[in-house]
Structure 1
Amino acid sequence: MKQSLLALGMLAVLSMPLYLSAPAAAGSVEVSKRAKQVHEAALVIDTHLDTPANFERPGWSILDRHDHDGDQSQVDLPRMKEGGLDGGFWVIYTGQGDRDDAGNREARDHGLIRLTEIREMLAANPTSFELARTAADAKRIVAAGKRVSFISMENASPLASDPSLVSVYYDLGLRMLGITHVKNNDFGDSSTDAKGPEWKGLSPKGKALVAEANRLGLILDASHASDAVFDQLLELSKAPIVLSHTSADAEFDHPRNIDDARIKRLAEKGGVIHVNAYGGYLISIPKIPAREAALDALSEKYGDESSRDEAAIQAYLGERAKIDQQFPVPRANLDDYMRHLLHILKVAGPQHVGIGADWDGGGGVDGLEDVSALPRITERLLAAGYSEADIQDIWGGNLLRVLTQVEAVAEKSKQK
């Protein structure tokens, strides 16, 4: 394990200016000429890329095409180019562990190490990727032919031992902060904790974190949080908030999805919902106890995904295929994804919707298996009657507008 203090010391070097490369054309997926043109004209940003979990995988490189990895890898530079993905938010994900002193220290160290891994990837590939801190940076980086690299945090547990660390993360590039994951934490309630609500929304530490996020200039993300946390974020935040990867309750009633009334309130406050492509949140997939037991045993056999080398990946996928054959379950497809996306567009309007497919975190459906397939979404949006301007807003314009507003709130707080 890397020493976090050494890693932080190295980041002064990693923040040196990066240089330019030529742009690449998007799209090897078969779509109409019109769809390809519209897609290539848009600034295409995904708000939830869990790919940093792969950065330290033995033999894995962001520069190589990994489509043979199946669901183990969905984002790399070749497929970003083919799918016209200009960039997105690389996620600092931390699973919710024990909330005692030891657990909080472990979460703290994990978060700092994951941040360092992201920054090291950027430093190693300066002609292909560049850290973005502002909305203006994103446009400049795309114009230079590189991939936009924002950083987000999913689950604020790395801050539990010392919430003031959020300012360190901000200085090192963090621009989006998600409060919880699948369990409650020190900052607020999750939408899916089996124990139910602990804080009835945000905790006192959570409310203080909201104020600090506004002061610094961090986008607040309510995905995974309970409805009460969503309501309180919407009330307390001085800037618009987002849902970085969330789908529609009206299309599939699941605690991780959101109801139409809240979608409308999010839009009224200027926020954006980015639609998730995680199959279990799009359609009903029954839990088969024997299947779940077999999958748990398989995961235990091969260990943490980020530690698997090429041979282990292929062996895992072979055994996983046998489990799928023995215990088949329905799979969500592109039609299911578009049903959620089009419903949310009708409720919120195209100025308040984006894409956050949860790539490399369980997202992806049949017909939308990895980021090379993104032009298919553009084709479907055109077929549904959305204009080129609408599609540009959905793919990145809305997110950059929110970031600009968040930046303005932070700047105003500095002037007081």
Structure 2
Amino acid sequence: MRTIAAACIATLGLSGCAPTVTQGPADIAGLHRDLLVLDTHLDTPINFGRAGWDFSARHDVASEIAQVDLGRMAEGHLDGGFFVIYTEQGALTPAGYREALAFARERSDAIDREIGGHPEMIRFARSADEVEALAAADKLIALKAIENSYPLGEDLSLLREFYDRGVRMAGPVHSGTNQFADAAGGEARWNGLSPLGRAWVAEMNRLGMVIDASHSSDAAFDEMVALSKTPLVLSHSSPRAAFDHPRNLDDARIRRLAESGGAMCMSTVFLSTMNMTEERGLLFGRYEGIADLSVAEQQELSRQWRALDKTEPMWATSFEQYMDALLQLIEGAGVDHVCFGADWDGGGGIQGLEDITALPVVTQRLLQAGYSRRDIEKMTSGNVLRLMRAAEAAREL
């Protein structure tokens, strides 16, 4: 962990470093409010289309399964992020691809409907410049990402369709090895990327889309770093030094990511063993289809989920452990190569960081660790915008 003195020397010089640890709560709240804060992986679209659920409202995490809504975005000063088109891994067959593509298209449409329904509060951005313009206009910001390119099947021309739908970030794989790449912890079928996966990297570069290496195997990560013309992002990953899990990235690869200009967005998941009990697994199964449940069924699911959080939490990670891991990541990668993607509404959240209203506390702790406002804003948005601009500059449309 950096000391105040070390931080002053490394960033602004001793004479230019303000004593941030003496700032009061009002000062910290104001600083966090004035930052541009983005999250690179919001699974919130799973909640879009729920009967009786109001995305524009401010829900209470104690009684509601969702962790993100427009009310809490305003309260926690999360200015925006990448709303995810997630598709569960299925069979690598034409029928499996067709079913997955139909699902992904509908999920994209659901994001369009929900964001489009609140134009006074939130708008879509399709470029880094549009992100900054919306922030300047005091609008919340919605971007789109693909988690798992499985729905593309073997037709890479579909990437252009999703680009036209507003997608600006995509990852090749989720929890299972697919036609593009080996997954972290999955079958080592390709020993990295498949031939189609290498073509996928080239097409992502051509379209000007940011490549997301979260969920990819180490070997697939290595190939993507070597092949991509633009830097990678890991939209929701954690350092393996903090917890040894295949989903996390080791120190050597974190350094390689930084050297190549990429960034890791710190997650709250896999910083401890995942406590996936039978009861939690059943609740997850119902959560996958929450938009099809009645209002009463949704309320009961939320009640059961939060009750289980109290007796058998999914993660044994404390906020202190999260901050230790984050500070360790910053030390290893540097402030120019860290961002935030907590995996909200996709299994993320820990004690002390249960939903997005707690984000100012992270800013407070970074200030107390000696990081400057300039350092913090790089991590909350600047690095993501830089990666977007690098991808945009490489576009060959």
TM-score in terms of structure 2 length: 0.90
Q: Which runs of 5+ in 2 are unaligned?
A: 1-23
**CA distance change for structure 1 residues 277 and 100 in 2, over 3 Å: closer, same or farther?**
same
1:197-346 alignment, distance < 5 Å? 197-278=188-269, 281-285=270-274, 292-298=277-283, 304-320=289-305, 331-346=316-331
Q: Distance in 2 between matches of 1:213 and 1:38?
A: 36
Which of residues 53, 56, 64 in structure 2 aligns to 1:63? 56
Q: How does 1:38-49 map to 2 (within 5 A)?
A: 38-49=31-42
Deviation at 1:174, TM superposition (A): 0.5
Residue 392 of structure 1: CA displacement?
Answer: 0.7
Task: Tell me the distance in 1 between the aligned counterparts of 2:151 and 2:274.
Answer: 32
Per-residue CA distance 1:217-264 (angstroms, 9 max, x = gap) = 000000000001110110000011100000010010011100010001
Structure 1 residues 144-183: aligned runs within 5 Å? 144-183=137-176
The verdict on how the C-alpha distance between 1:220 and 1:68 changes in structure 2, with shifts beyond 3 A counting, is closer
Give the AA of the match of 2:380. W
- How far does residue 300 in structure 1 lie from its aligned partner after superposition? 5.4
Q: Which residue of 1 aligns with 2:3?
A: none
Does the C-alpha gap of structure 1 residues 64 and 236 become closer, same or farther in structure 2, counting only changes over 3 Å? same
Q: How many Å apart are 1:98 and its aligned residue? A: 1.5
| Cα drift, residue 301 of structure 1 | 6.8
Q: 2:9 aligns to what?
A: none
For residue 160 of structure 1, report the CA deviation from its aligned partner: 1.1
Instruction: Report the residue type matching 2:75 in the other structure.
Output: E
Give the CA deviation at 1:58.
Answer: 1.3
The residue number in structure 2 matching 1:90 is 83
Cα RMSD of the aligned pairs, angstroms, is 2.0
Distance (Å, rounded) in 2 between the aligned partners of 1:318 and 1:370 = 16
Q: Deviations over 1:34-67 (max 9, x none)?
A: 3212212211000000001111111112111222
Deviates more, 1:299-308 or 1:260-269: 299-308
Alignment check: 8 A CA contact 1:364 1:370 kept: yes
Deviation at 1:331, TM superposition (A): 2.8
**Aligned partners of 2:313, 2:349: CA distance in 1, in Å?**
18
Matched, 1:126 2:119: yes
SS at 2:145's partner residue? strand
Name the count of aligned residue pairs: 375
Q: Match for 1:363 among 336, 344, 348?
A: 348
Q: 1:354 to 1:169 in 2, by over 3 A?
A: same
Supply the distance in 1 between the matched residues of 2:116 and 2:287 (Cα, whole angstroms).
30
The one-character-per-residue Cα deviations of 1:74-121 (angstroms, maximum 9, x if unpaired) are 101110001011100000000101221111101110111111111112
Give the TM-score normalised by structure 1. Answer: 0.86
Match in the other structure for 2:372: 387
Please tell me whether the aligned partners of residues 105 and 161 of structure 1 are also in contact (alpha carbons under 8 angstroms): no
Indicate conservation of the 8 Å contact 2:39/2:340, yes or no: yes
Separation in structure 1 between the aligned mates of residue 386 and residue 232 of structure 2, nearest angstrom? 11
CA contact (8 A) 1:108 1:161 kept: no
Deviation, structure 1 residue 330: 5.9
Change in Cα spacing, 1:69 to 1:173, as seen in structure 2 (3 Å) is: farther
What is the one-letter code of the residue matched to 2:340? I
* Contact 1:71-1:360 within 8 A present in 2 as well: no
Partner of 1:114: 107
Cα distance in structure 1, aligned partners of 2:191 and 2:334: 30
Relative to structure 1, the CA distance from residue 301 to residue 343 in structure 2 (aligned partners, 3 Å threshold; closer, same or farther) is: closer
| Mapped contact 1:90–1:152 kept (Cα < 8 A) | yes
2:20 matched to which residue of 1?
A: none
Deviation at 1:306, TM superposition (A): 2.9
What residue number does 2:360 align with? Answer: 375
Distance (Å, rounded) in 2 between the aligned partners of 1:365 and 1:407: 35
Within 5 A, what are the aligned runs for 1:181-192?
A: 181-192=174-185
SS in 2 for 1:244: strand
- Contact 2:94 2:153 (C-alpha < 8 Å) held by counterparts: no
5+ residue gaps, structure 1: 1-30
Is 1:401 aligned to 2:390, yes or no? no
Conserved in 1, the CA contact under 8 Å of 2:57 and 2:69?
Answer: yes
Task: Map residues 13-24 of structure 1 onto 2, 5 A cutoff.
Answer: none
Distance in 1 of aligned mates of 2:51 and 2:239: 37
Residues 117 and 323 of structure 1: is their aligned pair in 2 closer, same or farther, counting only changes over 3 Å? closer
Contact 1:69 1:313 survives alignment (8 Å): no
Render the CA deviation track for 1:301-360: whole Å, top value 9, x for unaligned.
787233233321332244445656665776322212111111100000001100001010
Q: Which moved more, 1:393-402 or 1:293-302?
A: 293-302
